[in-house]
Structure 1
Amino acid sequence: MITTIMAGILSAILAYLCNKVILKSFRDEGLTILVPLLEEMAKTTFALLLKTNMIGTHFIFGCIEGIYDIITSSKRIGKWAAVASILSHSFFGMVTYLTYTRTKQALIAIILSWILHSGWNWYVVKKL
């Protein structure tokens, strides 16, 4: 359990630091293409390196992103953004885990979750 929490925290820290640079440089394209790739790589890689629960790592990441959403967004939007973060990252974790267990290929699992995550971010950007 501790290693799962650590994997989630480490992936969130890495994503936070890199996402700041990506979003400043690439804006919407960064949010819909590069940020999802970085986040899916970070979560999955840390889970594998620490030999811990992949879905749990994605869930912890989503919780951390949710806290960030609450802190940085309006009260009305923040709480719903937090719920969306937790649910979406947990879903991406399930997809990653199921793909990885069936293929034994981390790259395939990351690519599939990246495509779904990119699609989700594109949808959210277009709707807001």
Structure 2
Amino acid sequence: MSAGRLREAVAFDEDTGSIGSLGGRETAWTERHACRGQWIYQRGDEAVQAARLAGRSVHKIKIRSCDASRAITVGYRMRNTRRGLPDGVGTDTLPGSRWNVREVDAITDPMWVYIVVEGEVVS
């Protein structure tokens, strides 16, 4: 596959927040990997159909395999930095629209990592 299909600019952030003095969780996101990705139509299995009925969109993203992309976990979030909010949301100044990472497949194909995202989330 040529790089021409990797049209979207995406970034993956890890929650590096901490526990506050009163025991509450303070969320802080740190960018861990930025790359180009291809959006792949996600077929309608039961989980995808249920998400759509609930008003949530589910997409599969294909990115090149490397050490950083294989380190992505379901605790991360993805940002589409080509689209979305250029100045972030509130205290989260990282640009782009936000998506929750739901599934990571780094073993099926040695050249690619496939990531299922759900969103779009505001924070």
User: Is the TM value for this pair above 0.5?
Assistant: no
Alignment TM-score, normalising by the size of structure 2: 0.25
**Which has the larger share of helix?**
1
Larger Rg: 2
**Which has the larger share of strand?**
2
Alignment TM-score, normalising by the size of structure 1: 0.24
Which structure is higher in RCO with an 8 Å CA cutoff and minimum separation 6? 1
